[in-house]
Structure 1
Amino acid sequence: MTATGETGPEGASVRREFALERYRYILQQINAVNENAHRFLALYQTLATALASGAVALFVGYRRWDIPASTARGGVIGLLTLTTVVAAFTCTLILVGVLSWLDYRNEECDITDELIGPGFRERPRPGNFVRWYETYVLLFILVSVIAMWLLAGLLLLPSMR
């Protein structure tokens, strides 16, 4: 076994093998980060649909269930607040995933620069965010939460008097 810092052929081989294993790990993590964004979107869609459906059901049935209008309004606001919390949590997870992806991609570029040559892989540019699907997932979540609050504020809550 070679000592740390040895630059002979055996040391270079060990270093190359280690870098290759690290590269495989980085690619695996990049793939996991990409898959997680889809999972987070599915989680948001499921919970937001259930909570918004609960708000609509409360709006439709509060008279039949003999629930006071003020209580029903509070319930709708509570469900929409919970939906907003779920949206904020989902957005946070997606943003952390983007930051992790950027970090892994930069590490990938470091390894390929060292083993293959500088410039083999271009470093990610945050300015290209318009090409990232996470940008549109975040926009979808933001627009859907704003739409739910607007619809509730303009249609549901005024009708619950």
Structure 2
Amino acid sequence: MEQKILIGRWTINNNGILTKKENNATIEFSLNEIWSYDNKSEYNVYSLPVYLCSQSWISNIDLLDFNSAFLVCLEKFEAVKPENLPIISWSETLKRQYKRFQYSLDINSFEGRKQFEYETEYKDTLSFEDMMKLSLVDPQAEYRPTVEVFGDKLSRNP
């Protein structure tokens, strides 16, 4: 009998971890993907948690829920862990995830929704000429990364 564990929008089943996107497409990560890793400088990091950082349909809170589901999955499927798996740094994996958090606006947080609404309203009032002026690049200016907004309608609210 299949046992399912639900953490946020993530379901752990006998095959791995899955979720649904807003368009009802099921995304499933198999056990092979759970154990996959990448070598980054002197550390090995888990591939899947870092990969999910690049997906716009996942909010920051969804990503934190995934981390919990991922750790439960690693423990649940310890028996099928590949032999000769090198040491993989969970702390380095988290550091790579948190780089995303520094410059992201989580649409599912109160502050994120308000900031997104303000920016949307402000951009709607700009003329084409104003938009062009704002898009000019000043090579002398201090670089500030563009804030990204993550999450979809299925993302969990804080």
Q: TM-score, normalised by structure 2?
A: 0.28
* Structure with the higher helix share, 1 or 2: 1
More strand by share: 2
Q: Which has the larger radius of gyration?
A: 1
Using structure 1 for the length normalisation, give the TM-score: 0.28
